[in-house]
Amino acid sequence: MLKVLASPRGGGLLVLIVLIALLPLGFQNNFHYDVAIRVGFNAIVVVGLNLLIGYAGQISLGHAGFLALGAYASAILTGSHDWPPVLAMLTGAVGVGLLAFVVARPVLRLKGHYLAMATLGMGMIIAIVLNTESQLTGGPDGMSVWVSFGVAGLEANTPRQWYWLVGALLVVWVWLALNLIDSPFGRALKAVHGSEVAAEVVGVDTTSVKVTVFVVSAVVASLVGSLSAHYISFISPQEASFFHSIELVIMAVLGGMASIYGSLVGAAILTVLPQVLTAFEDFEHLVFGLVMMAVMIFMPKGIVPSLGLWLAGRARRPGGEAAP
Amino acid sequence: MRRRLMRALGMIALALGMVIVGRGPLYAADGSIRIGSFLAVTGPASFLGDPELKTLQMYIELINTDGGVNGRQLELIHYDSQANPKNAVGFVKRLIDQDEVDIIIGGSASGETLAVMPLVDKAEVPFISLAGSIKIIDPVQKWVFKTPHTDRMACQKIFEHMQGEGIQRIGMISGTGGFGKSMQGQCQEVAGDYGIEILADETYGPKDTDMTAQLTKIKGTEGIQAVLNPGFGQGPAIVTKNFRQLGFEVPMYQSHGVASKKYIELAGEAAEGVRLPAAALLVADKLPDTDRQKPVVVAYKQAFEDRHGAGSVSTFGGHAYDALFMAVEAMQRCQCSDAAGVRDELEKTAGFMGTAGEVTMSPEDHLGLGLSAFRMLEVKGGDWALLD
């Protein structure tokens, strides 16, 4: 483990672990924990989504649908059927995985706008079903989730417990994702992104690669959906809304496509910023828009990759002198 | 190395973000009574949250210039939930844990109100909701109150009127949005109490642009004496237009969801003769002078329109008015602002005259409104007219 952390790949992970461990020192109340937990949830989803969007170059505007399905699976199975939370969560994830698999094959044959449209449509269908099947889902008003999340007698009830749970999951998932993109599978993903034809020529099964990463990101969204349903104790069909999907994509793009740490930064900024901007009252949305525009204009590759390039550029020109 | 540095930088940005949020209570304790609020000021339900916020801001300012409550100033801390329950939960945690408010007035929509109820219950903070659903007060929760009439009451008022008109068999066409769906269910439940039979029960999506098909089906149903349309937003206006286009000869009943001038504007001529239950505020000037509610609604209407322009008043802002003054009067009665004291006093509210009607609360009733809160109106000559 120590060796892993000392490696270049692990360096960032070490920073992440230290950060998660030290952040609570600055927390003054449960609200701070709450914001941190939400950042964690979003970060996990966005890392998964970034594998699909940033690395494999496939867009999805329907991931909030998967997230909501996971959330509702947990809410309904633990609420009305007394299932243990973990079993409900895994059942939801398997269901979402199957759905994503079935949908992925035809959908991922589409490219560009068509793929965006298809995933968008799928997300909307999920939202409509959740809205209208009110006997099951509570309809537009949503439903409460009364059961606490727990495994083998250990329950997460307080914000502090949730913080450590989400923090640990985030670290594990980032570690897995870093390894994934550095594996033959990760290189296949990037090859698909670069050129599907070229990837096929060198023997990459492009369909299977795309389907796998789509299913993985959907399952991760579903798991987070289940956890957040237990954490927030309430879910509504707005979880599946188009805007939520867009929000997740924005997090990935803002932080940086094809950057795991970018996903974390994007999720953190988009979760924290609205809380900070409440100080601007009526100008909140204006300032929010300005920040987004500024980032996209000055850092078109996203925050983390752009900063990385900038730092690399500076290092090449020590003392700020122009390179020969 | 460089890559590691860049990653570290990213993490620092994240940490900084947390620190900025974590500046501690933004509002220093200075002896003021803190009223927390989360409203759908922007987003799909902004027509609710916007007048609610304006009302709270205006009256808190007025109360403060008059010397505040119990000699203390009021301070409003509000967040924009965009009617998203998840946002609302976050903001209520912030109101409770960080801003340490004395009371919460808010929740423009039912979903966000229901979502935060377990939180306020656990934190033991009095909470007056501005949302419609009956689920908010039935069953009664110790710390949760609400000011707007419920969908069930609207159904009852409509059916009461139908009963008076000798109508027994109706067709219903409901929106599938939160409002329409909830009211559809409530109407189905209470219809029997008034001897009313729902022969046709159709629905339409919130964004549908033509309801001719559903209405044709209702028209073809034998023995329909009236059509009821629980719905919200532009849907009911389209239903009304289609209803006229199809040449129905039975009366149309709308819900209180369309009780705004916007509906008459959207539906135009087709709205003539449509009946609906609405709060007295809508017909403030037309109320007889003997009406005990008249001074309250006329004063509110005047104050709001003086500041925000003629015709800007809506019943939704009125819900916020009622909540604020109910809270203020409770605080004055008990000369306190502590959570338990205010809650107990709120529960003892009796004979409070608000824009929604006369409120008398009890431990079993955290709404306290009677059916008389609603007036039956009819659209006549592009304006509202009192029916009873």
Helix (H) or strand (E) holding B200, with range, is strand B197-204
**What's the pLDDT score for residue B234?**
83
Judge whether A257 lies within some domain.
Answer: yes
Instruction: Determine the 3-state secondary structure of B230 from DSSP.
Output: coil
Residue A13 counted as domain residue: no
CATH number attached to the domain at B33-150+302-373 = 3.40.50.2300
Interface test with B, best of A29, A174, A310 (most B CBs within 10 A): A29
- Confidence (pLDDT) at B208: 87
pLDDT exceeds 80 at position B288: yes
Percentage of residues of chain B with pLDDT beyond 70: 92
Instruction: Please indicate whether, in this complex, the C-beta atoms of A276 and B2 are within 8 angstroms of each other.
Output: no
In this structure, is residue A73 part of a structural domain?
A: yes
B215, amino acid identity: L
pLDDT at B356: 87
Name every chain B residue with its beta carbon within 8 A of the beta carbon of A26. 18-19, 22
For residue A269, the chain B residues in CB contact (below 8 A) are: 13-14, 17
22-81 in B: which are within 8 Å (CB) of A? 22, 24, 26, 42, 79-80
Residue A172: pLDDT band by 50, 70, 90 thresholds?
A: very high
Query: Rounded mean pLDDT of chain A?
Result: 87
Q: How far is CA A214 from CA B145, B252, B255, in A?
A: 46, 50, 45
Q: What's the pLDDT at B20?
A: 47
Among B3, B4, B7, B77, most A C-beta atoms within 10 A, so best to mutate, is: B7
Whether residues A233 and B11 touch (CB distance < 8 A) is answered with: no
Q: Contact at 8 Å (CB) between A316 and A323?
A: yes
Task: Examine the pLDDT at A5 and tell me if it is beyond 60.
Answer: no
3-state secondary structure of A54: helix
User: Tens digits of per-residue pLDDT, B153-187?
Assistant: 999 999 999 999 999 999 999 988 778 888 898 99
The rounded distance, in Å, linking the Cα atoms of B239 and A286 is 36
Partners of B228 in the β-ladder: B172, B253
**What is the pLDDT, as a whole number, of residue B29?**
47
pLDDT above 70: residue A101: yes
Q: What pLDDT does residue B25 have?
A: 45
Could you read off the pLDDT of A197-244 as tens digits, one per residue? Answer: 898 888 888 888 989 999 999 999 999 999 999 998 889 898 898 889
Convert the pLDDT of each residue in B327-353 to its tens digit.
999 999 999 889 999 999 999 999 999
Q: Note whether A303 contacts B10, CB cutoff 8 Å.
A: yes
- C-beta separation of B111 from A141 below 8 A: yes
Residue B23 has pLDDT above 60, yes or no: no
Q: Is the pLDDT of residue A178 over 50?
A: yes
Instruction: Report if residue A226 sits inside a domain.
Output: yes
Distance between CA atoms of A65 and A225, rounded to whole angstroms? Answer: 10
Under the banding of pLDDT at 50, 70 and 90, the label for residue A92 is: very high
**Do B152-285+377-386 and B33-150+302-373 have the same topology in CATH?**
yes
CB contact under 8 A, A307 and B86: no
Q: How far is CA B131 from CA A129, A130, B362, in A?
A: 24, 21, 19
pLDDT digits (tens, 9 = 90+) for A256-302: 888 899 999 999 999 998 888 888 777 878 888 888 888 888 888 88
How many Cβ atoms from other residues are within 10 Å of residue A18's Cβ?
12
Instruction: Note the pLDDT of residue B199.
Output: 93
| Residue A80, in any domain of the structure | yes
Query: Residue B243 in 3-state DSSP?
Result: helix
Residue B81 has pLDDT above 60, yes or no: yes
pLDDT at residue A120 tops 80: yes
CATH class label, B152-285+377-386: alpha beta
Number of Cα atoms under 13 Å in the Cβ half of residue B21:
32
Number of domains in chain A: 1
Mean pLDDT of A152-172: 88
What's residue A322's pLDDT?
A: 43
| A7 falls within a domain | no
Asked if residue A168 has pLDDT above 70, the reply is yes
Q: Which of residues 293-332 of B touch A (CB under 8 A)?
A: none
Among residues A165, A164, A155, A162, the alpha carbon closest in space to that of A231 is found at: A162
User: What is the ipTM score, two decimals?
Assistant: 0.82
Domain boundary assignment for chain B: 33-150+302-373, 152-285+377-386
In the prediction, which pLDDT does B176 show?
A: 84
Segments forming the whole domain that contains residue A239? 34-267
Average pLDDT over residues B246-254: 93
Which of B94, B114, B182 has the CB atom closest to A31's CB atom?
A: B94
Question: CB-based contacts of A97: which residues, under 8 Å, 6+ apart?
Answer: A215, A218, A219, A222
Q: Is residue A317 part of a domain?
A: no
Q: What percent of chain A has pLDDT over 70?
A: 94
